[in-house]
Amino acid sequence: MKKASPLKFSKEELEREGVKSQGTEGASPTKPPDKAQARIPPSAQEKAGTHQKEKAKLIAPSPMDGSTPIDKSTSQQKTKRSQARRLFFEENPDMSLNPVGRKKGMPLSLKAVSAGVHHELDRQEEDNTGLEAAHSTQKSASSTLRFLRQQRDRTRQMKARRSTPAREAKESTEAVESGSNASRAAGAVKPSQQTTTENPTFSSNPFSRWQQKKAIRKQYAAARKAGSQPVTAGATLVDKIKSKFQGSKAFIRRKKRSALLVGGLFAMLLLVMNSLSSCSVLLEGTLTSVASATYPAEDADMKAAEAMYKQMETDLQQELDNYLSLHPEYDAVTIDCDKIEHDPYVLISMLSALKNAKPWTIDDVAGLLHTIFDRQYIRTETVTTETRYRTEWQTGIRYVKDPYTGKWVPEYYQYEVSIPYLYRTVHVEIENFNLSHLPVYLMSRQQMGLYAMYMSQLGNRPDLFPGSPYIHKYLVAEYPEYEPPAEDLQDPVFAAIFEEASKYLGYPYVWGGASPATSFDCSGFVSWVLNQCGWNIGRLGSQGLYDRSTVITAEEVRPGDLIFFTKTFEANNDVTHVGIMVNQNTMIHCGDPIQFTPTDDAYHIEHFYAFGRIPR
């Protein structure tokens, strides 16, 4: 039992000293606050006082000694009812905007705006790899700042708990606060989350996206080589992070050692991530280019597909060599056959593009190989017949008179006759359409872009078919560079043509290609460049470009004019190739690949047709 205080004052003494009565006989006078009590915020002291008053109301004075406690169960019930009434009517202004009773954070409106900004950044990351790297840096920094703030709040709470009066005051108000929070939380409605939308599907071609990333890598490499670093969104984010980090100075002062350690690690993290963000476009572009331009099939399946196609070509050649024995219904045969050959990289690139860059096996492409074979080797058989005559001996019978008996007796004899018959001659023509010319007839625009991408890097497998001439064309050969003199670039028309044409140096030759998304052939390249530089000629072939041009002499040629060639391959047209002149003896054209080429070598002199200029 609690001892009564030895210090008792009468009512008159208390009033004389200026101390108000508590309304209960024998109550202790007000105890002066100690140092710990003085540290309690006034609001907490008021809450503690209110709680003490509520506790005092639950204890009824006894008529015998004034201190007998009431029954516990009854006290608990009354306490619950009292708290329920108090929790229902009381309103804590500090808790109105913060249901969980913690420190106020970002308003809901700002959180919604922040979430929308982050959602938009996530949506744009696939288009801009530099933005993706900067956004990742900002996310990591935000997570670290939240961790530091949580540690700071926990430290403050632990220090506040060390004071016994403060702890008592806090515990006395927890029931009121928790009840009030619970009542408001029951009726609270969570803000609706923003719905996210999927990234828009790219309408561009994979070969175009691959070339764009390749161009970005070149720009960053040039900037780094010149000693300048491109400005990215990461630099701005670092400044913002530093400004936010200054708000944690109070925590750093209290936890100097821990803060220095965490700050040092955080600074190292920022330094590393900021350094990597400037190179993230190069790294991601390189990895993406390597992955997207690599053949999706296994080596065994690609070699099996090549072997199967070569066996089909071998069977065709053997049939031509033994045609009459295999087709006895014909009396004669004439054969006109192009050279039976193909390039394995063209074949594998076509298969991978037709399979939409998805992994494939030899069983998946067996039927496709026959389709490609029939489209490459166009077979035509023409049968002619004529009536011919051949001489044959036949046996006849005739009657003669026997000179001895005078009777007529039969006599057999041999004679020649000419017998007509149909002479059947078959004329077999095998046209090799050139496997590299088939993509435009078999593929969609998307698939042609994939084909061009695979051919530009040979599927990143130059070791797969080492005998292919494309290895030298695309990966080994060094083509001449050309920088026009300043006086030529003063012509705005030629300056625009040269700038546009130079963008596509190194693009592979794709028969029928007419845009950067599919790569180009010779006439498609020239048509594209002219259309981008003020002309409106549409898509013309080499003959069509010549027909639209005004023929000029060699003395009249200036940079930007066209040069035409003939009989560079078998065709019905007179003009079969076209290029753009950049000086008197150099052109830029879609050879294989697009390149600068001299026009005064033996080959081009032999096939030269004319110079021309298309009026604007």
Q: 3-class SS at 34?
A: coil
Is residue 108 predicted with pLDDT exceeding 80? no
Q: 3-class SS at 573?
A: coil
User: Does some domain include residue 94?
Assistant: no
As a three-state string, the secondary structure of 389-407 is EEEEEEEEEEEEECCCCCC
Is residue 5 predicted with pLDDT exceeding 90? no
Does the pTM of the predicted model rise above 0.75? no
User: Does some domain include residue 140?
Assistant: yes
Closest alpha carbon to 465 in 578, 343, 574: 343
C-alpha–C-alpha distance, residues 436 and 432, integer Å: 11
User: Does some domain include residue 52?
Assistant: no
Is residue 159 predicted with pLDDT exceeding 80? no
Is residue 332 predicted with pLDDT exceeding 70? yes
C-alpha–C-alpha distance, residues 343 and 439, integer Å: 14
Is residue 425 predicted with pLDDT exceeding 60? yes
Q: Indicate whether 155 and 285 sit together in one domain.
A: yes
C-alpha–C-alpha distance, residues 278 and 360, integer Å: 37
Q: Indicate whether 585 and 535 sit together in one domain.
A: yes
Average pLDDT, stretch 515-540?
95
Give per-residue pLDDT as tens, 541-568: 999 999 999 999 999 999 999 999 999 9
Q: Indicate whether 217 and 333 sit together in one domain.
A: no
pLDDT at 499 (0 to 100):
96
Average pLDDT, the chain: 74
The HSE-up count of residue 245 (CA atoms within 13 Å, CB side) is: 19
pLDDT at 256 (0 to 100):
59
pLDDT at 570 (0 to 100):
84
Last residue in a domain, options 292, 324, 344:
292
| Number of domains the chain is built from | 3
C-alpha–C-alpha distance, residues 120 and 135, integer Å: 11
Structure token digits, residue 144: 């670290």
Average pLDDT, stretch 131-158?
64
Q: Indicate whether 426 and 549 sit together in one domain.
A: no
Q: Indicate whether 558 and 446 sit together in one domain.
A: no
> Cβ(610)–Cβ(591) under 8 Å?
no
At residue 456 the predicted structure's pLDDT band, cuts being 50, 70 and 90, is: very high
C-alpha–C-alpha distance, residues 546 and 69, integer Å: 115
Q: 3-class SS at 564?
A: strand
**Facing residues of 578 across strands?**
564
Q: Indicate whether 586 and 523 sit together in one domain.
A: yes
pLDDT at 85 (0 to 100):
42
User: Does some domain include residue 584?
Assistant: yes
- Whichever domain contains 497, its CATH number is 3.90.1720.10
Distance of CA 396 to the CA centre of its chain: 91
Q: Indicate whether 250 and 312 sit together in one domain.
A: no
Tokens 């079969």 belong to which residue? 576
Q: Indicate whether 501 and 575 sit together in one domain.
A: yes
Q: 3-class SS at 412?
A: strand
Other Cβ atoms closer than 10 A to 317: 12
Q: Indicate whether 512 and 484 sit together in one domain.
A: yes
Average pLDDT, stretch 228-245?
50
Q: Indicate whether 258 and 137 sit together in one domain.
A: yes
User: Does some domain include residue 227?
Assistant: yes
Q: Indicate whether 373 and 321 sit together in one domain.
A: yes
Give per-residue pLDDT as tens, 203-220: 457 777 777 777 777 777
pLDDT at 614 (0 to 100):
94
pLDDT at 173 (0 to 100):
52
As a three-state string, the secondary structure of 142-189 is HHHHHHHHHHHHHHHHHHHHCCHHHHHHHHHHHHHHHHHHHHHHHHCC
Give per-residue pLDDT as tens, 566-593: 999 888 889 999 999 999 999 999 998 9
Q: Indicate whether 139 and 255 sit together in one domain.
A: yes
pLDDT at 504 (0 to 100):
96
Is residue 75 predicted with pLDDT exceeding 50? no
Last residue in a domain, options 395, 421, 456:
456
Q: Tell me the residue range of the domain where 596 lies.
A: 478-613
Structure token digits, residue 260: 């220095």
C-alpha–C-alpha distance, residues 98 and 184, integer Å: 10
Other Cβ atoms closer than 10 A to 92: 16
End-to-end alpha carbon distance in the chain: 112
Is residue 246 predicted with pLDDT exceeding 80? no
User: Does some domain include residue 92?
Assistant: no
User: Does some domain include residue 38?
Assistant: no
pLDDT at 229 (0 to 100):
46
Distance of CA 75 to the CA centre of its chain: 69
φ and ψ at 478, to 5 degrees? -110, 120
Checking phi first, is residue 23 left (phi over 0); if not, alpha (psi -120 to 50) or beta? Answer: left
At residue 430 the predicted structure's pLDDT band, cuts being 50, 70 and 90, is: very high
Give per-residue pLDDT as tens, 287-323: 345 567 899 999 999 999 999 999 999 999 999 999 9
User: Does some domain include residue 13?
Assistant: no
Last residue in a domain, options 292, 324, 347:
292
